[in-house]
Structure 1
């Protein structure tokens, strides 16, 4: 699943280009609507508006109990952002994180950027979020990634010679931007 900000979802909903002017204009429209939230069911690229008030009792409804919904996080063009802290405890959570944050193909979302990374680079990045593989050699992480069949391993490999004559295997991976990861 890809990650899309609330502001990007608002622009998708109104079918307008994503820019600061449209974000302010259309986010204001949705924010002024009473008891309405922008969300998605399966595909975050297909946002929907949901009334959060029950039509019979007129009470605000807990939408999590009705159907599976996803909500968007507010990230772009906000004067003050709250810092989200993400900590991954299990290797299953780590696999899910890696399959969401490191994609082999372009997700067509501004939440991701193309970067050329080695498995070593990915391992050092996950050290910010997890203690898994903290004291392990990179080879053990590489074997684990292969056994888990991570999506990012499907990206094409580009071989380069690094400093000191070392060979590097870099993959063109679409990486979730840091402010979406919650450092």
Structure 2
């Protein structure tokens, strides 16, 4: 036989032997068959993929070129708004009554104007300065209307020093916060994890959870059965705001602190705490 005659038989015999041998390993045979099947189809699909890419690329570039000028126009506006987004919501910030009076009469906030303008408001026996939603927008409303709808007309915080004849804050303690809801509201309004931008009402302090517990116990009676450690867990489960502040460790001076974790927070001044509690009762 000639080689031309034997060659097809040799190739056929080799293929038959290869498939027969591979049949003992099903996984490899399946892989080989799938590979032989997919290669031609992949080669056929490749031109379509290249065509689609070449078709979509100009449209994508065109869309980017159209949107780029608009983005450049809006970018300064977003950058200008960024600092305001990082600041706390000022519609919820606390403003004292004296500050609101000076704002209402467009006068600088100083001791002389406070005394003069406070007397001017107090002489209006039937009117009181208050606000609705934004404390930065004070208005004068009749006292009777405020008492009739304390949820709409909210009064400002006034210092206890101004309401006492001795000129000193009152040491009388009223533990009238009798529910957990009232305690939560009191803590969230008196202890802030951010700067409220009002040095008249708040002062920066480093406080431990134990010190917060002692402060609350002066005004609250519903948590008497909790220890300082149990109070810390209670604050965590209720997500009290002052826990959002970063903490640092501080060695106790006399060993009387239960915890060595302190947080840098902003605390309402003592002379406003009693008034804050009274205002909170009016809204609840």
| Distance change in 2, residues 1:120/1:29 (3 Å) | same
The question of whether the paired residues in 1 share the 8 Å contact of 2:158 and 2:272 is answered with no
Q: TM-score, normalised by structure 1?
A: 0.79
Equivalent residue, structure 1, for 2:146: 63
Structure 2 residue corresponding to 1:12, chosen from 103, 107, 114 = 103
Q: TM-score, normalised by structure 2?
A: 0.54
Per-residue displacement from partner, 1:150-174 (whole Å, max 9, x unpaired)? Answer: 1111112122223478872111111
Q: Where do 1:22-171 residues align within 5 Å?
A: 22-33=113-124, 35-50=126-141, 52=142, 61-65=144-148, 68-75=152-159, 77=162, 80=165, 85-109=174-198, 110-163=200-253, 168-171=260-263
Give the number of the structure whose residues are more often helix, by fraction.
2
| Distance change in 2, residues 1:12/1:159 (3 Å) | farther
Aligned positions, number: 175
CA RMSD of aligned residues (A): 2.9
Per-residue displacement from partner, 1:120-178 (whole Å, max 9, x unpaired)? Answer: 11001111112233242222111110111111111121222234788721111111111
The question of whether the paired residues in 1 share the 8 Å contact of 2:146 and 2:154 is answered with no
Give the deviation of 1:61 after TM superposition.
Answer: 4.7
SS in structure 1 at match of 2:218? coil
Per-residue displacement from partner, 1:59-78 (whole Å, max 9, x unpaired)? Answer: x8533446700112432555
SS in structure 1 at match of 2:250? strand
Per-residue displacement from partner, 1:53-95 (whole Å, max 9, x unpaired)? Answer: xxxxxxx853344670011243255562795735210111100
| Distance change in 2, residues 1:86/1:16 (3 Å) | farther
Equivalent residue, structure 1, for 2:47: none
The question of whether the paired residues in 1 share the 8 Å contact of 2:102 and 2:114 is answered with yes
| Distance change in 2, residues 1:127/1:79 (3 Å) | closer
Give the deviation of 1:48 after TM superposition.
Answer: 1.6
- Provide the rounded CA distance (Å) in 2 between the counterparts of 1:105 and 1:156: 11
Equivalent residue, structure 2, for 1:174: 266
User: More relative contact order in 1 or in 2 (CA 8 Å, sep 6+)?
Assistant: 1
The question of whether the paired residues in 2 share the 8 Å contact of 1:117 and 1:172 is answered with yes
SS in structure 2 at match of 1:161? coil
Gaps of 5+ in 2: 1-91, 278-284
Per-residue displacement from partner, 1:82-109 (whole Å, max 9, x unpaired)? Answer: 9573521011110010001111112122
Give the number of the structure whose residues are more often strand, by fraction.
1
- Provide the rounded CA distance (Å) in 1 between the counterparts of 2:210 and 2:125: 48
Moved more, 165-174 or 107-116: 165-174
SS in structure 2 at match of 1:113? strand
